[in-house]
Structure 1
Amino acid sequence: MTNDVVLVDAHDVQIGVCDKRLAHLGTGKRHRAFSVHLIDSGGRHLLQRRAAGKMLWPGFWSNACCSHPAPGETVLDAASRRLREELGICASCRFLYSFEYHARFGSIGAEHEFCHVLIAQSDALVYPAAQEVSEIQWWTRAEISAQLSEAQGQFTPWFRMEWRRLLSEHPSFDVPALQI
């Protein structure tokens, strides 16, 4: 796969292609991304701690899988590919919503993403790729909300934004409702 990301305008229309690292330097260039929330049949959410080698937010907790579609690749195809590459699982994803955000990581760089938020369900064993993920944990919604309320909790900014919206717009989100 290419190391390029798709640059987009405020409506997610492609306006170019850029090296992934360059897209995250400085204030960042707006690019297409996705974020997968993986839920098991018991209603628990898989969270991952980002690997120490990640350029932005290393060691921070986030949702199961976040990445970028390659040029010419659909968001759903990219999400399925990255679930296999990062976590070693096959799961179908369903679109929930999209949003744009901008978050700086000190002087190192920034995320400026038009992010498509997806949901998937799986009870498969997870085999995290060490270069991407340092740790995984299955948590209930209540456990995640409690962790997020702690001042010292290290969570990625996009996960915090997505979690608030999931709770407000999908308060009774449970596995039987998924029907994936």
Structure 2
Amino acid sequence: MANQDHVWRQSRDVVSFNDEPLVLVDQQDREIGFLDKQSAHQGQGLLHRAFSLLVFNSRGELLLQQRAEGKRLWPGFWSNTCCSHPRRGETLDVAIERRLAEELGMRCTTQFLFKFEYQAQFDAEGAEHELCWVYAGRSDDVPTLNLNEVSALRYISPVALDLELVEHPQQFTPWFKIEWERLRRDHAELFGSP
């Protein structure tokens, strides 16, 4: 668990709003409407467009974030570098650039890898039901934690992460576990080996 005691730069900008409109989609990722974020995550959740970004440094380590304790869904869980939703009228490229800057004060070039649908129930009142676009990027920028979104950061090698996911799967978000398994299976080029 490298870098857990590292002192990161911090901010407290408010960048998430319960009333921000999310893009509702069908299973073919066609837009079918818009709904505020809070309502889209109630009950079993309504299918909406989302993205996940995994940022690796020049040593091939992945930057993990621990979700802030104030998050409605999966607070305190470890997850991929950055994830969120495009807003109404916003392309995924713009949404990813915006959110990475808002949460971590970073920039990077991204590469689209795949998209997938999942539904994960957190509790009786809330769930994720997303059609999630997954991207990878590389950056050695020094992050700035937005404490409203992220409670901790750490870099980890892929092999060490594989072991943690086996030994402590309950500490990670459900979408990240799905993404990581597919990255390891289908995207060896990200890890510098065949």
TM over 0.5, shorter chain: yes
Which residue pairs with 1:50 in the alignment? 67
SS at match of 2:33: strand
SS at match of 1:33: strand
Which residue pairs with 2:12 in the alignment? none
Picking from 161, 170, 178, the partner of 2:187 is 170
**In structure 2, C-alpha distance between the alignment counterparts of 1:175 and 1:152, rounded to whole Å:** 25
| CA RMSD of superposed structures (Å) | 1.7
Deviations 1:154-179 (A, max 9, x none): 10000000000000001242379xxx
SS at match of 1:59: coil
Which residue pairs with 2:3 in the alignment? none
**In structure 2, C-alpha distance between the alignment counterparts of 1:42 and 1:51, rounded to whole Å:** 26
Deviations 1:86-114 (A, max 9, x none): 00011121100000000000213100000
**In structure 2, C-alpha distance between the alignment counterparts of 1:143 and 1:36, rounded to whole Å:** 19
Picking from 110, 116, 137, the partner of 1:99 is 116
Structure 1 segment 29-40 matched on structure 2, within 5 A: 29-40=46-57
**In structure 1, C-alpha distance between the alignment counterparts of 2:115 and 2:150, rounded to whole Å:** 24
* Alpha carbons 1:48, 1:62 under 8 Å: kept: yes
Which residue pairs with 1:129 in the alignment? 146
Picking from 67, 75, 81, the partner of 1:64 is 81
**In structure 2, C-alpha distance between the alignment counterparts of 1:4 and 1:152, rounded to whole Å:** 32
Deviation at 1:81, TM superposition (A): 0.5
**In structure 1, C-alpha distance between the alignment counterparts of 2:110 and 2:190, rounded to whole Å:** 15
Residue segments in structure 1 that go unaligned for 5+ positions in a row: none
For 1:119, give the aligned amino acid.
A
Which residue pairs with 1:110 in the alignment? 127
* Residues matched between the structures, number: 177
Structure 1 segment 68-87 matched on structure 2, within 5 A: 68-87=85-104
| Ranges of 4+ aligned residues in structure 1 off by more than 3 Å | none
TM-score scaled by length of structure 2: 0.87
Moved more, 167-176 or 119-128: 167-176
**In structure 1, C-alpha distance between the alignment counterparts of 2:170 and 2:45, rounded to whole Å:** 25
SS at match of 1:86: helix
Residue segments in structure 2 that go unaligned for 5+ positions in a row: 1-14
Which residue pairs with 1:25 in the alignment? 42
Which residue pairs with 1:155 in the alignment? 172
Kindly, what percent of the aligned residue pairs are identical?
A: 47
**In structure 2, C-alpha distance between the alignment counterparts of 1:160 and 1:123, rounded to whole Å:** 24
